[in-house]
Amino acid sequence: MTVDELVENFEFFDDWEDRYAYLMELGDTLPALADDVKVPANIVQGCMSQVWMVARLDADGRMHLEADSDARIVRGLIAILFVALQDRPPAEVLAADVGALFQRLGLDRHISLNRRNGFAAMVQRARAFAERAA
């Protein structure tokens, strides 16, 4: 899914209850993270829920993220992060304006402050991976 497709899908729904349901459905599509990866070193600090994130570079030099959460809505936020950053070169990850996407979707006005801070922490962790890889 592209960023524009994601925005279009969000705009399809008239009310926020439907958008929240869609957000959680997005999270349901994520593959589960293996239990051996759910270790303290992989926890994203600053998230209210438990979030684990790891990254690797593939053979083409693109950053591949894997993440999971114990909260369904946070898994949806992870899915949004993946739409914005998944399988991109580290330089593109560093240049991406994920905050603008968050605003375009209206999440900045409809997600709790704690969830917004957690999302920002996930973005920061992804950028830290990209900085190390660049």
Which CATH number covers residue 24?
A: 3.90.1010.10
Residue 69 structural domain: 3-133
User: Residue 111, SS3?
Assistant: coil
Condensed to tens digits (0 to 9), the pLDDT of residues 47-102 reads: 788 999 999 999 899 999 999 999 999 999 999 999 999 999 999 999 999 999 99
Nearest residue to 26 via CA among 77, 88, 71, 95: 77
Share of the chain above pLDDT 70, in %: 100
- CA torsion 29-31-32-37 (nearest 10°) is -140
106: left (phi over 0), alpha (psi -120 to 50) or beta: left
Query: Looking at the whole model, is its pTM more than 0.85?
Result: yes
* Whether residue 18 has pLDDT greater than 90: yes
Is pLDDT larger for residue 47 or for residue 16? 16
Q: Which residues are catalytic?
A: 47
Per-residue pLDDT, 60: 92
Number of independent structural domains in the chain: 1
For the chain, report the end-to-end CA distance as a whole number of angstroms: 25
